[in-house]
Structures are given as C-alpha cells and as structure tokens.
C-alpha cells in the first residue's frame, strides 16, 4: 500500500451526501494528485459503477478504474464524515472508501492492488481503527503500518 498511497491521498472527513458526490470529490482529489483530467477520472469511475457496485459491504467501497495516460497504479483513501448509500451488496451505507486508479496497461498490477486493499479492509478491527482515526496522518499511518506488519 505504501507505493500506491501518498500522505496527501488521504481525506479524513470527506463531506458528501450521495455516491455521485463522493465519486466527484474523489475524482477531483485524484486529478490534483495524478495530473489526470478530473472528468476522465469521474467518467471511468461512473462507468465501473454501472457494471456493478463497488460497495463491497460492511461500510466499505473500493471504486476503481483504468486510465490510458496514468503512469502507475495509485490509491486514495477517504473516510466520510457521514455514511452514504452506495448501492452496496449488503445494502449498508458506506463510510470507508479506497479509490484505485491504474494505467490501462496495468494488467495484473491492478488486480494485485485490488486484492491488497480488499484484504486489508476485510479485517473488522482494522476498519474500526480507521473509523476512529481523526486525522489524515493517523489514517495514513494505519494504512501503511498495517501493511508493513503483515509483511513481517
């Protein structure tokens, strides 16, 4: 996760009232971090949601997509200030979101990143720690420290 996520890719209290607004805010932040066009990011995320929700259950969503001009796989993480309906498979609102963007040529790297994120967020205790962290720095430390602990 360390190579995918930068400290400025964390939003500790994202304010949004709908799934669409969450995706718009994340696309805006991703555009700032990657130099990609905000509209292109938003369109890719919406297109992916049309295929099926990325709300995986237990308050977690992993929206993702591929962009032709993105140089490498990158991630953003947001904790919402209030959960929103994300059409999740368990019909529960979402408050933890990990956005993944990959180059169209990423192939297995994109799948590895998705697997890494879903493994981390499958742990209920870890998700509670993320929900309890009150700053972007604290969330970043949790996300990057946990991976190092798991690798040991």
Tell me the per-residue pLDDT of 18-71, one tens digit each, with 9 for 90 and over: 999 999 999 999 999 999 999 999 999 999 999 999 999 999 999 999 999 999
Rounded CA separation 148/102 (Å): 22
Tokens of 108: 């297995």
Catalytic hit among 37, 64, 110, 145: 64
| pLDDT per residue as tens digits for the range 69-99 | 999 999 999 999 999 999 999 999 999 999 9
- pLDDT above 70 coverage of the chain, percent: 94
Q: What is the pTM of this model?
A: 0.91
37 classed as catalytic: no
**Orientation of helix 136-151 relative to helix 108-121, angle to 10°:** 100
Q: Does domain 7-145 have CATH number 3.40.930.10?
A: yes
Q: Provide the residue ranges of all domains of the chain, joining segments of one domain with +.
A: 7-145
Q: Can you tell me the distance from the alpha carbon of 2 to that of 105, in angstroms, rounded to the nearest whole number?
A: 21
What confidence tens digit (pLDDT) does each residue in 91-134 have? 999 999 999 999 998 878 888 988 999 999 999 999 999 999 98
């Amino acid at each position: 996760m360390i190579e995918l996520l930068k400290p400025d890719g964390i939003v500790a209290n994202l304010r949004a009232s709908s799934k669409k607004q969450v995706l718009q805010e994340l696309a805006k932040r991703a555009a700032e971090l990657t130099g990609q066009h905000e509209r292109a990011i938003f369109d890719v995320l919406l297109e992916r949601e049309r295929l099926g929700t990325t709300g995986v259950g237990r308050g977690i969503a992993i929206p993702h997509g591929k962009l032709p001009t993105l140089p490498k796989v990158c991630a953003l993480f947001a904790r919402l200030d209030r959960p929103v309906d994300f059409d999740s498979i368990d019909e529960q609102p979402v408050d933890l979101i990990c956005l993944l963007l990959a180059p169209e040529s990423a192939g297995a790297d994109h799948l590895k990143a998705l697997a890494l994120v879903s493994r981390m967020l499958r742990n209920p205790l870890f998700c509670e720690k993320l929900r309890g962290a009150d700053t972007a720095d604290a969330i970043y430390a949790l996300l990057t420290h946990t991976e190092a602990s798991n690798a040991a």
